[in-house]
Structure 1
Amino acid sequence: MESQLEQREIVVKVKRYNQEKGEYWQEYKLVVDRFTQMTEVLRRIKSEQDPTLAYRASCHMAVCGSCAMRINGEPRLACKTLALDIVKKYDSNQITVEPMDYFKVQKDLIVDMDEFYARMFKVKPRLYPSKEVVEGRGEHRLRPEDQRELWKFAQCIWCGLCVSACPAVRIDEEFLGPAAHAKGYRFLADPRDTIYDERLKILADSAWRCTYCYQCFNVCPRDVEPVTTIKKTRAHTRFLKDKSEVAKTGEKHVKAIFDSIRETGKLEEAKVYITTYGLAAAITDMLYTMRNGKVNLALIREKKVSQIDQIQKLMGEKE
C-alpha cells in the first residue's frame, strides 16, 4: 500500500507593493506536501487565486537566481526552499514572503536589479584572453590546481541575495558588494586572463571596505563564499602600484595586528588602532569612549603570553 504524502494547510502572507496602493500585506491559504517548493506555492497562488501577484522565477533548480526573496525574514531562493521545511523550522503554518532588502521594489516581490548588474559589470566579468588565442594561433591551458581555485567562485548565479544581506553596500557607495568581488576574483586569479593590473585596480580599494560580517557567507545558496574572495583579493594589494588611502590603511591594520600577536601573543586593540589610524583619530575616538564609560577598556595593559617563542615560531619568526 502506497504511503500517503504528508500534507498541511499553510497561510502565506505576502508583502505586496504597487504604485497605486503602496505597501500592504495579503494572505493566501493552500495545501502543500513535503515536495512543494516556495516557487510552486507562488505559482499556485498566481494561477489559482490571484493573477495580479508579481514575482520572478525561471529554472526552479537554483541555477538562474531569479527567485531571490525573503522567506520568514531569511534571504533565500524560493525554488531551493520547501514550504514544509519552513513550517517545521519555525513551528508555524504561517510563512511570510517579502522582496529582497536593499533593492528598490518595482512590484510585489520584483525588485530593480539595475544597480546590482552595474556593480557586476564594473569588474569586467569575462575572460580577456591573449591576442594569440583570439586569433587562433595559440591556446590557454588551465592546470587542475588553478581550476580547483576558481571553480567554487565561478558558481555565482547573480541572484543578489548576498548584496541584500550586506550592511557595507548600504553605507559605502564605493564598495562593489560581495557578488561583484566573487566574480571579479574568479578572473583575477585566472592565469589565462590578460588584464590583471586593471582588474586589481578595480577590486583592491573595494576589498578593504568590507566589514567582514559574513552575512554573504551565510545566505549564499551556492556556497560561493564571497567573503573568501575579498580576503584573497586583499592579499593581492601588495602587487598594486598606485594604492588608494583605504588600501594603505588596510595594509597598515593587518601589519599592526601581525606585530601585536608576534610581540605579545595577543591582539592589543588600542595599540593596533593607534598604529593603523594615527594619534589624532585615536584621541577623537578616545573622547567618544570616555563619554560612553568605556575608556578603561582601551587602557588595559596586556601581558605577553607564556612561551611567546612558540607563537613566533608558528608565525615564521624563529627556527
Structure 2
Amino acid sequence: MVQEQSNLEQTEVVIKVKRYNQEKGEYWSEYKLSVDRFTQMTEVLRRVKTEQDPTIAYRASCHMAVCGSCAMKINGEPRLACKTLALDMVKKYGSNQITVEPMDFFKVEKDLIVDMDDFYARMFTVKPRLYPSEEVLKGNAESRLRPEDQKELWKFAQCIWCGLCVSSCPAVRIDSKFLGPAAHAKGYRFLADPRDTIYDERLKILGDSAWRCTYCYQCFNVCPRDVEPVTTIKKTRAQTRFLKDKTEVVKTGEKHVRAIYESIRDTGKLEEAKVYLTTYGLATAITDMLYTMRNGKMSFALIKEKKVSEIAQIQKLMGEKE
C-alpha cells in the first residue's frame, strides 16, 4: 500500500489564498505544492500551514462533509474544502492555479475564517428542535413517526449548518427579514414533523420570510448535502394559507400565486403584465410603468397574448373542467 501511494502521479498546483487580518487588511498569498488525485483541499491547506506558512488561518474538522467547518470559496465556488479534490478544480477550470477565499456575506475574522454569529442567530430563530407533547415528556405516550413522514423529513434533516447557501444567497443581502435558506430548511424539517406541537408558532416565524425568497436557486446549486433549501421554502409557502395573522408580504405573495394560476387557466400562458397588475395594484403598476418607460422596456409590457389552442385541455389538467 505504501509503495502504491508513493507511485501516484504528482501534479504541481499554485494555491492563491485571499488573506485578511486587522493589521494588514486584505492581501493575497501564493503557495506551490504537489498533489495527487486523492488530495482534498483541506489536505492542501493543512500542508500549506504545516510546511510553508504557519500563520494561515482556516477551519476544518471532520474532513468528511459532516461538520460543515471548512466552507469557503474555491475558484469562486462556494464549496466544502474536504469535499473538493484539488485536481478536480484543475481539470474543471483548465488551470493549475486554484484560488481560495472566505465565504461571501459573512464578516471575515482572519484569512478564511468568518464570523458565523449572524448565521447561528438565524438558525436558532426557527427553534431547531422538536417540541413533543406533555404526554410524551411524562412518559405516558410514545412519539412515533410513520415511514412516509420520515421520507418527507429525511432530506431536510441533512443540513450541516455550513452556511454555504447563505453565502451565495442574494435575498439575504438585500432583506434583513429573510431568515435565509438554511434556517428555512431546518425550520420546515420541524414544521412538517407530526410529532411537533408548536406548528402555529413555527408557521408564524417562517411564513413571512418564506415569501421574501427570490427563487434564484443558488442554495440549491451550492448545498454539499443536496438538502434543497428552496424546496422547503416552496413547501412553507403552501402552508401560509393556515396563518391566522398574515403580513402584507404573505398576502401579496398569495395574491401573486393566484394571479399566475388564473392567467394560465384563462389563456394557457403567463401574462406577466396582467399578473403584475393583479398582484401589486394600479398605483404600484403606474409607478413601475414609468420606470420601464424611462428604460425603454415598455414595449414588452404591451405585448398582446393569444390563448393557446385547446385551452380546455389545460383547464382539465388544472382540475377546472371534467
What TM-score do the two structures reach when normalised by structure 2?
A: 0.98
Identify the residue that residue 204 of structure 1 maps to in structure 2. Answer: 207
Q: Does 1:232 align with 2:232?
A: no
Identify the residue that residue 140 of structure 2 maps to in structure 1. Answer: 137
Identify the residue that residue 314 of structure 2 maps to in structure 1. Answer: 311
**Following TM superposition, by how much is the alpha carbon of 1:293 offset from its aligned partner in structure 2, in angstroms?**
1.1
Distance in 2 between the 1:255 and 1:138 partners?
A: 42
SS at the partner of 1:31? strand
Distance in 1 between the 2:284 and 2:47 partners?
A: 58
SS at the partner of 2:79? strand
Identify the residue that residue 258 of structure 1 maps to in structure 2. Answer: 261
Matches within 5 A, 1:25-36: 25-36=28-39
**Following TM superposition, by how much is the alpha carbon of 1:296 offset from its aligned partner in structure 2, in angstroms?**
1.1
- Pick one of 120, 125, 128 that aligns with 1:122: 125
**Following TM superposition, by how much is the alpha carbon of 1:140 offset from its aligned partner in structure 2, in angstroms?**
1.2
Distance in 2 between the 1:32 and 1:157 partners?
A: 28
**Following TM superposition, by how much is the alpha carbon of 1:6 offset from its aligned partner in structure 2, in angstroms?**
2.2
1:194-252 CA distance string (max 9 Å, x none): 00000000000000000000000000000000000000000000110100000000000
Distance in 2 between the 1:65 and 1:2 partners?
A: 31
Matches within 5 A, 1:125-204: 125-204=128-207
> What's the RMSD between the two structures over aligned residues?
0.9
Matches within 5 A, 1:11-30: 11-30=14-33
Identify the residue that residue 273 of structure 1 maps to in structure 2. Answer: 276
Identify the residue that residue 98 of structure 1 maps to in structure 2. Answer: 101
Gaps of 5+ in 1: none
SS at the partner of 2:46? helix
Identify the residue that residue 112 of structure 2 maps to in structure 1. Answer: 109
Distance in 2 between the 1:139 and 1:118 partners?
A: 31
SS at the partner of 2:239? helix
**Following TM superposition, by how much is the alpha carbon of 1:2 offset from its aligned partner in structure 2, in angstroms?**
5.3
**How many aligned residue pairs are there?**
319
Q: Does 1:248 align with 2:251?
A: yes
Letter of the 2:137 counterpart? V
Gaps of 5+ in 2: none
Q: Does 1:302 align with 2:305?
A: yes
- 1:17/1:2 Cα in 2 relative to 1: closer, same or farther (>3 Å)? closer
Q: Does 1:65 align with 2:68?
A: yes
Distance in 2 between the 1:88 and 1:300 partners?
A: 46
1:32-66 CA distance string (max 9 Å, x none): 10000000000001111111110000000000000
Matches within 5 A, 1:78-97: 78-97=81-100
* Displaced runs of 4 or more, over 3 A: 1-4
Distance in 1 between the 2:277 and 2:90 partners?
A: 50
- Pick one of 23, 45, 48 that aligns with 2:48: 45
Distance in 2 between the 1:114 and 1:270 partners?
A: 42
